[in-house]
Amino acid sequence: MLNDELNDEWSGWLLNRRHGGDAAQAARVQATVDGYVERVLEGAALTPNMVMADIGSGEGVVAWRAIERAGPGLQVVLTDISAPLLRYARERARALGVAGQCRFVECGAERLEGLESASLDVVTSRSALAYVADKPAALAEMFRVLKPGGRISLGEPVFRDEAQAACAMRQMLECGGAGNALLALMHKWKAAQFPDTEAAMAASPIASYSERDLLRLAQQAGFAGLHMELHMDVRPNEVTDWAVFCATSPHPWAPGLGEIMEREFTPEERAVFEAALRPEVEAGRLTTASRMVFLTAGKPDNRG
């Protein structure tokens, strides 16, 4: 891994902070992501010789699996705003022997520069639209680059509940709970990772939308035949190693608990918090929730 890959907020998270640098956790995360990718590609309904674009392609996981599923006739355009990730994906494509089927374009989802209008059969995006501030612009661009009859298949996390929990903690502290030291520390932790006021939620790309908003925005962009599914899983947190728990973070913009404690807690607060939380983590008593929205839709073919 190169230094600029680690320093880039996107690749630094995908390649390290997502799993805290722990091989076992990396394997568990990969298995979960693989499931999401399969779901997105089922929705894409690929056939051989299609041209697809994956927006916010990251390491290229959607692209590689799409090529495996659809075969050597599939052409894939990988777009991303992160130059280090595009470089990483380009090297992976070479190593996998699929570079001839791939094109790499550095651009934001809001403006798909270099992608011609009505040139693609399928547009996919997995956990990338979530981070785009102007989602209507991104969906309008997906609509523009698709051929009539083409389709989108998206799989995005929904973080509203985490933000609402952080808001609730803030409200409890403001309404007489200030004496609750553990609650104050929990709030410090969660507020460093998610917006904790209604205004901050509205301004945050990751917390300003629900699954229903994505459906509505896609419809407003002109898509038809929309189908949305919300998958929610609540299960025991599989990370039971305290160091790994402190090193992982839930999304690219969130620091891990270790960094938050280092930056925002006094040494006494750190000791209190660790004494309370660490036994819960190590006993596997914490739960973790994931919410993923899967959306498929088509660009109407009005050519009669």
Ligand X SMILES: C[S@@+](CC[C@H](N)C(=O)[O-])C[C@H]1O[C@@H](n2cnc3c(N)ncnc32)[C@H](O)[C@@H]1O
What 3-state DSSP class applies to 206?
Answer: coil
Task: Output the smallest distance, CB 231 to ligand X, in A.
Answer: 15
CB nearer ligand X, residue 67 or residue 186: 67
CB nearer ligand X, residue 126 or residue 187: 126
Task: Output the smallest distance, CB 196 to ligand X, in A.
Answer: 22
Task: Output the smallest distance, CB 28 to ligand X, in A.
Answer: 15
CA angle 179, 262, 1 (to 5 degrees): 145
Task: Output the smallest distance, CB 298 to ligand X, in A.
Answer: 21
CB nearer ligand X, residue 141 or residue 169: 141
Spatial CB neighbours of 121, under 8 Å, sequence gap ≥ 6: 50, 51, 52, 146, 147, 150, 151
CB nearer ligand X, residue 195 or residue 252: 252
Binding stretches for ligand X (CB under 6 A):
10, 14, 55-59, 61-62, 80-82, 85, 108-109, 126-128, 131-132, 252
Task: Output the smallest distance, CB 36 to ligand X, in A.
Answer: 7
> Residues 153, 295: contact at Cβ < 8 Å?
yes
CB nearer ligand X, residue 40 or residue 191: 40
Task: Output the smallest distance, CB 41 to ligand X, in A.
Answer: 11
CB nearer ligand X, residue 82 or residue 101: 82
Q: Is 161 exposed, middle or buried (0-12, 13-18, 19+ CB in 10 A)?
A: middle
Work out the number of other CB atoms within 10 angstroms of the CB of residue 89. Answer: 24
Nearest-angstrom CA–CA distance, 58 and 240: 28
> What size, in residues, is the chain?
304
CB nearer ligand X, residue 37 or residue 215: 37
> Sign of torsion, CA 40 46 49 53?
negative
Nearest-angstrom CA–CA distance, 302 and 253: 41
Intra-chain end-to-end CA distance of the chain, in Å? 51
> Residues 147, 296: contact at Cβ < 8 Å?
no
The DSSP bridge partners found for residue 54 are 78, 124
CB nearer ligand X, residue 33 or residue 246: 33
Task: Output the smallest distance, CB 159 to ligand X, in A.
Answer: 12
- Which residue is closest to ligand X by CB? 58
97 to 30, 54, 67: CA distances (angstroms): 21, 19, 11
Task: Output the smallest distance, CB 265 to ligand X, in A.
Answer: 27
Q: What are residue 164's phi and psi, to 5 degrees?
A: -65, -35
